[in-house]
Amino acid sequence: MISVEELLFFALSVFCLIQKIGCVSDTITVTQLIKDGETIISSGGSFEMGFFSPSNSKNRYVGIWYKNIPIQTVVWVANREVPLNNTAGVLQVIKPGHLVLRNDTNNIIWSSNSSWSVQNPVAQLLDSGNLVVKDANDHLGNFLWQSFNYPSDTFLPGMKLGWNFVTGLEVYLSSWKNYEDPAPGEYTYNYDPSGYPQKFVKSGSVIEFRTGPWNGIGFSGVPILRKNPIFSYRVVFNEMELYFTYELLGSVVTRFTLSQSGVGQRWMWDDQARSWKLYLSIPADRCDSYAICGAYGSCDIGNSAICGCLDKFEPKNPEEWAKGDSSNGCTRNVQLDCHSGDGFLKYSGYKLPDTRNSSFSKNISLEECETICLKNCTCTAYSSLDITNGGSGCLLWFGDLIDMKVMPEVGQDIYVRMPSSESGSLHGPDGKKGLILAIGLSLPLGMVLIGSLSLILYIWRRKNKLQKQKNSEMARDINDKKYTSERHKKDLELPLFDLSRIIKATNNFSSDNKLGEGGYGPVYKGVLEEGQEVAVKRLSETSRQGLDEFKNELICIAKLQHRNHVKLLGCCIEGMEKILIYEYMPNKSLDLFIFDPIRSKLLDWPRRFHIIQGIARGILYLHQDSRLRIIHRDLKASNVLLDVDMNPKISDFGTARSFGGNETGANTSRVVGTHGYLSPEYAVDGLFSVKSDVFSFGVVLLEIISGKRNRGFYHHDHHHNLLGHAWMLYKEERALEIVDCHLLGSPFSSLEVLRAIHVGLLCVQKCPDDRPSMSSVVFMLGNEGLLPEAKQPGFFTERYVLNSENSSNTNASSSSKGEITITLVEPR
- The amino acid present at 669, given as its one-letter code, is S
Q: Which residues are 361's β-sheet partners?
A: 394
Contact status, residue 774 vs residue 693, Cβ threshold 8 Å: yes
End-to-end Cα spacing for the chain: 65
* Domain assignment of residue 432, yes or no: yes
Contact status, residue 143 vs residue 116, Cβ threshold 8 Å: no
What letter would DSSP give residue 162? E
For 526-547, how does the pLDDT look when each residue is reduced to its tens digit (9 = 90+)?
Answer: 999 888 999 998 876 555 455 6
Question: Where residue 784 sits, what CATH number does that domain have?
Answer: 1.10.510.10
Q: What is the pLDDT of residue 779?
A: 86
Domain check: are 381 and 477 in the same one? no
Contact status, residue 152 vs residue 174, Cβ threshold 8 Å: yes
What letter would DSSP give residue 310? P
Question: How many CB atoms neighbour CB 91 within 10 A?
Answer: 23
Q: What is the pLDDT of residue 597?
A: 86
Domain check: are 814 and 730 in the same one? yes
Would the pLDDT of 619 be above 70? Answer: yes
* Domain assignment of residue 448, yes or no: no
Contact status, residue 754 vs residue 828, Cβ threshold 8 Å: no
C-alpha 209/C-alpha 201 separation (Å) is: 5
Report the 3 state secondary structure along 21-63: CCCCCCEECCCCCEECCCCEECCCCCEEEEEECCCCCCCEEEE
Domain check: are 507 and 630 in the same one? no
Domain check: are 171 and 224 in the same one? yes
Domain boundary among 284, 301, 316: 284
C-alpha 207/C-alpha 689 separation (Å) is: 35
Domain boundary among 551, 584, 617: 584
Domain boundary among 92, 120, 150: 150
* Domain assignment of residue 174, yes or no: yes
Question: Where residue 119 sits, what CATH number does that domain have?
Answer: 2.90.10.10
Rounded percentage of the chain residues whose pLDDT exceeds 90: 50
Would the pLDDT of 344 be above 90? Answer: yes
Nearest Cα to Cα of residue 707 among 819, 592, 785: 592
Nearest Cα to Cα of residue 412 among 448, 447, 381, 387: 387
C-alpha 23/C-alpha 98 separation (Å) is: 25
For range 204-229, the mean pLDDT: 90
Domain check: are 580 and 658 in the same one? no
Domain check: are 143 and 167 in the same one? no
Range of the domain at 813: 589-822
Contact status, residue 666 vs residue 827, Cβ threshold 8 Å: no
Nearest Cα to Cα of residue 79 among 132, 150, 159: 150
For 708-756, how does the pLDDT look when each residue is reduced to its tens digit (9 = 90+)?
Answer: 999 878 777 777 889 999 999 999 999 999 999 888 767 778 889 999 9
Domain check: are 476 and 570 in the same one? yes
Q: What is the pLDDT of residue 456?
A: 56
* Domain assignment of residue 35, yes or no: yes
Question: How many CB atoms neighbour CB 149 within 10 A?
Answer: 21
Domain check: are 341 and 413 in the same one? yes
Domain check: are 660 and 787 in the same one? yes
- The amino acid present at 62, given as its one-letter code, is V
Report the 3 state secondary structure along 803-824: CCHHHHHCCHHHHHHHCCEECC
Catalytic site residue 337? Answer: no
Cis peptide before 283 (omega within 30 of 0): yes
Contacts of 811 (CB under 8 A, 6+ apart): 596
For 121-169, how does the pLDDT look when each residue is reduced to its tens digit (9 = 90+)?
Answer: 999 999 999 999 999 888 777 899 999 999 999 999 999 999 998 888 9
C-alpha 263/C-alpha 260 separation (Å) is: 7
Domain count, the chain: 5
Q: Which helix (H) or strand (E) is 630 found in, with range?
A: strand 629-631
For 381-425, how does the pLDDT look when each residue is reduced to its tens digit (9 = 90+)?
Answer: 999 999 987 788 999 999 999 999 999 888 999 999 999 887 454
C-alpha 336/C-alpha 322 separation (Å) is: 27
Q: What is the pLDDT of residue 747?
A: 73
Task: Strands of 249-374 (E only): list them.
Answer: 254-258, 264-270, 275-282, 297-299, 307-309, 313-315, 330-332, 343-351, 358-361
If DSSP codes are grouped into helix, strand and coil, which group holds residue 595? coil
Contact status, residue 717 vs residue 111, Cβ threshold 8 Å: yes
Candidate list 192, 288, 634, 693, residue with the active-site label:
634
* Domain assignment of residue 450, yes or no: no
Q: What is the pLDDT of residue 489?
A: 38
Contacts of 170 (CB under 8 A, 6+ apart): 162, 163, 164, 190, 799
- The amino acid present at 544, given as its one-letter code, is R
Domain check: are 240 and 382 in the same one? no
Domain check: are 342 and 489 in the same one? no
Assign 818 a pLDDT band (cuts: 50, 70, 90): very low
* Domain assignment of residue 707, yes or no: yes
Mean pLDDT, all residues of the chain? 82
Report helix, strand and coil shares of the chain as percent, to nearest 5: 25, 30, 45
Chain-centroid distance of CA 813 in Å reads 20
Q: Determine the Cα angle at 700 with ends 696 and 701, to 5°.
A: 115
Indicate the Cα dihedral angle 481, 487, 489, 491, nearest 10°: -110
Q: Which helix (H) or strand (E) is 551 found in, with range?
A: helix 547-557
Cis peptide before 788 (omega within 30 of 0): no
Q: What is the pLDDT of residue 429?
A: 38
Contacts of 267 (CB under 8 A, 6+ apart): 254, 255, 256, 257, 276, 277, 278, 279
For residue 733, with 0-12 CB atoms within 10 Å meaning exposed, 13-18 middle and 19 or more buried, which class applies? exposed
Assign 471 a pLDDT band (cuts: 50, 70, 90): very low
Domain check: are 411 and 379 in the same one? yes
* Domain assignment of residue 637, yes or no: yes
For range 219-235, the mean pLDDT: 87
DSSP 201-217: EEETTEEEEEEEEB-SS
Indicate the Cα dihedral angle 734, 736, 737, 743, nearest 10°: -170
C-alpha 501/C-alpha 755 separation (Å) is: 49
For 242-260, how does the pLDDT look when each residue is reduced to its tens digit (9 = 90+)?
Answer: 999 999 988 889 999 999 9
* Domain assignment of residue 601, yes or no: yes
What letter would DSSP give residue 517? E
Determine phi and psi for 776, rounding to 5 degrees: -70, -40
- Window from 468-482, 580-594, 801-815 with minimum mean pLDDT: 801-815
